[in-house]
Structure 1
């Protein structure tokens, strides 16, 4: 009853079709195939009273054969009988190189060209990626600090477009001056021909013990080592003539230290325009805000390395007594080149 080509067959003798169905399902499974059914009468005198039985031949239904995978084509020169690994059937993705990773971090083509012209670049590009990132971070820190003294403000005005966060930056800078450096001084606010909302500045100055005055007021430090900082109305990007009152104030009071506050989350074109406006107004320092809203910090390297302005700080959150970084170059290196954090000077690593 067994056909090797079709599998084993089984014969069942039962009293009814229902019994046959139950027995076949239990023995051969849900998908067994019935090949034949015939009636078998009782033998001898039993046929006089016994009902005939059913003889059923069935077999399990075999699963559909799995088609064989085509044999991989051997590469020219490969030994016969050797199996090629499965991974060789898929094209290998090229590992990203150092310039590709820097582009992903937001580095501009201008900055990449500048790095490529550095004498250190061939060695950095030839290193493993981790070492290349560390070396690039170290190189960028050195470029950012070359010829740039640490910011030491005494009489400074804080400038910026409306919504740039200039008043918040002033508050954060005051906290650093008072708490970290123990300095004293006062703040002057001015409105001129347009309103200048003080925001949290009055309450914050009161909490720090820093006097706050409205212009006209003394714009020179009250003590030899003290400071005076001016909070001015927002600048106009569309109408430069609207900034005339701010320019007159800066010139009349002889305030040469001017901090340009830039919202780093601005569209690149707006960011460049605001930077150009500040430079035209004689800005000497730059502060970046809203870094917590920016995914790719790499585009700020152009302003830190090539811009004429001294980086003052960058803010990474809304807290007025924290969420800021004074070492802008180190903060950018740690964010855009995570591996470069290992190359930070020991004092910076301890402060992190």
Structure 2
């Protein structure tokens, strides 16, 4: 049985979509961005599963073609390989570049898409993990990577869709791209007629509509004690160290990098879950709250009105704290 059950209050101008009687449920799955994706979608009888699968794959492949640092021909990888100077982005890529840098400024760098050099240095980039017995990066190595990182070091020209970058700066959207892709897939499914669906990419989820029995999409939250969330026309993203980390000298190093220090986050936060209408926003905010110290993260979430659940690792085990908006969703006595 779940320790916590969260039921958001849905205040919408339009009621959630409900599949018509007899609409089949299509279950689709595959791999992308080094992880798994899945879709559950109710669609009109004339919309075949193969069509929904192909539409989903096209959107996910488009995200890889734009933002993957693991594919040399992606738009971001080509930008990273280019010399210092201005780089002009496509409209789709520009939208996330501009949004990400706006989030970086608003969070004081807690979420920062310019940390590719640091991500690579710590063994979480396309160069692969650090050798098991290799020493940790030195202060000089960290200082060099920091000199080639930082959202303040780039200049944007919105009219031209260009970013001017210094030498060595590399973009990395791994903390945001999955959420962006979830939003794109969800929008595409709606255009295909599957207005009631649940999309998941690497643990980031977005739900639209209700099931035929008027039930929400129930999802289990990652990263802590078992919790269930009733998802209706919302997205949920979790940032944590469960899947991508390494151990050295008895200490755990997670893949989330604090660009202000040039090191992986090390203040005890093991997972942060955020709810938002947009999966990309939820993804970015979860990353920011992971970087911020727990007290700062809660204060930030409350100022922003974010529903956030923070899981901390201590000598006494896992502990959870939640923002006021998240606490308001908690079903008492569940």
Common fold by TM > 0.5: no
**Structure showing greater Rg:** 1
Between structures 1 and 2, the one with greater helix share: 1
Between structures 1 and 2, the one with greater strand share: 2
Give the alignment's TM-score, normalised by structure 2. Answer: 0.22
Give the alignment's TM-score, normalised by structure 1. Answer: 0.21
